[in-house]
Structure 1
Amino acid sequence: MMQLQTLYLVNGGDWGWVVGSVQFLVNNIRSKSMTGLIIFDKDQTLIDSACGEKFIQSPTDQRILPGAAEAVSNFAKRGYKIAIASNQGGVEAGKKSFESAIEEMKFCLGLFPEISIGLICPCYDGKSAWMVKLNDWEVYLRQKIGVGSGTTNFGNFRKPGPGMINFLIAYYKSVPGETWFIGDRPEDEQAAEAAGTNFMAADILRLRFQQSDNC
C-alpha cells in the first residue's frame, strides 16, 4: 500500500527540491502497472475555458490543458482506473443549468476517451451527486447518487467533503491507500485528506508530463 503523500507547487528557493520530489513520485507511478484508482478534478485540472474566460461559458467551451491528456493516457496504459469528480456549484448559484452541467461533463469525457465516469455535485449542501457515464455503445447515462435511506453514507459529496471520492473508491472496489486525487484547489486536497487518499497538485503533474514530452 502506498504511503499517503501530498504534493505542492512551491516557488522560490524550494522549487528545485519540489521538482525533484515530484519527479521521483511521478516516475514511481509511471513505472508500474497498477490496478489502483486515479480521480481527477475537472476545471483547471484537466481542462479550462477554450475562449479564455475564468469559467466555462458553455458545455463545448473546454480545451485540454497541456500535459493533461498525456497524464491520463499514461495512467490508463498502466492499468489505473480513472474517473472525474467535480463540484458544480454554478448550478445552485444560477450561473448555469443542471442540464448544462451534465453536458459539460459529457463533453469532457469525450475529450478523454480513457475516462468513462464523471461525478458532479451541483448543490451547496452536498447531499447528492450525479454520475455521468459513457457506456460501450457511446450513450451517456446519468444516475443520481445520494445519502438517505437504503444507501451507503459516503459523506458530503461537495468537496471538501469526501463523498464523491468515497463513492468512486467503492464503485471501483479500490482502497484509499491505492487511490490518488488530482486537483488544483485547497478543497480538492481537503477532500483527499478526508477520504484518506493520496493527493497530487494538478499543475505539478501536468508539468511533469510536459517535461517528459520535451525530453
Structure 2
Amino acid sequence: MTKLIILDRDGVINEDSDNYVRSTEEWLPLPGSIKAMARLHQAGFTVTVATNQSGLARGYFDIETLNAMHAKMNALLSEEQGVVAAIKYCPHGPDDQCKCRKPLPGMVNELIEEFQISPAESWMVGDSLRDLQAGQAAGCNVALVKTGKGIRTLAKGEGLEDIPVFEDLADFTHFILTD
C-alpha cells in the first residue's frame, strides 16, 4: 500500500510560470488540485511537497513570500480538511552544486527518512523529467501529470518509458484511491 505522496509544487498543485511564481497573488491552485490533496490525506496518505525554488537564489522573491505562498496553499487545503505533512524546498540556483535540487534526490530522501516510509510505498508526482528522476533516484514510484510543463515533458519523450501519465493531480488521485 502506498503511504507517502511527494508532490512537485509548480505545475502540479498550482499554475506554473516561465517567469516564476513570485507572489501569493500569482500562486493560483490548478483546478481540482487542492481537493485531490485533501482526498489523499483523508484516505490516510502522508501528503508532502518537494519543490525547486530557484527564484529565491535569483532574488525574484524572499523567504517570507515563499512562506506566504505555502500558507495560502495550506489554508485552502485546510478548508477541504486536508493537510500537507511537510514541505521541502531547494532555494538554490541550477549552478549552485547543491544536493537538494531536483533531479537529485535530496529532498525526496529527506521526506522518506522523516516519515520512515519505504520508497517502494512512495510516489513522486511531477510535471517535469527532473521531478521523475529525483523520485526514481530515491527508489520511489513516479507519475507524470500533463499540467504545468507536463505536455512539454511528454513531447520530449526521453526517460518516460513505463511511467504512468495522468491528466492532472485529480486524475492521479483517482488512480491511487481506486488501485
Q: TM-score, normalised by structure 1?
A: 0.61
1:102 Cα shift? 2.6
Task: Give the partner amino acid of 1:75.
Answer: L
Alignment counterpart, residue 122 of structure 1, candidates 91, 96, 106: 91
1:39 paired residue number? 6
Q: 1:110 to 1:207 in 2, by over 3 A?
A: closer
The 4+ residue runs of structure 1 with deviation greater than 6 A are 209-212
5 Å-filtered alignment, 1:1-215, equals 34=1, 36-48=3-15, 55-113=20-78, 114-124=83-93, 125=96, 127=98, 156-203=99-146, 204=166, 205-206=168-169, 208=171
Q: What are structure 2's unaligned runs of at least 5 residues? A: 147-165
Shift of 1:115: 1.1
SS at match of 2:73: helix
RMSD over aligned Cα, in angstroms? 2.5
* Aligned 8 A contact 2:40 2:173 in 1: no
TM-score by length of structure 2 reads 0.73
* Amino acid of the structure 2 residue aligned with 1:86: T
Deviates more, 1:68-77 or 1:189-198: 68-77
Whether the 8 Å contact between 1:67 and 1:210 is mirrored in structure 2 is no
The percentage of aligned residue pairs carrying the same residue is 30
Q: Secondary structure at the match of 1:199?
A: strand
Question: Within 2, Cα distance between the matches of 1:199 and 1:115?
Answer: 19
Partner of 2:163: none
Distance of aligned partners of 1:103 and 1:57 in 2 relative to their CA distance in 1, 3 Å threshold: same
Cα offset, 1:38, TM superposition: 0.2
Tell me which structure has the larger Cα radius of gyration: 1
Amino acid in structure 2 at the alignment position of 1:208: D
CA spacing shift, 1:87–1:126, aligned 2, 3 Å:
farther
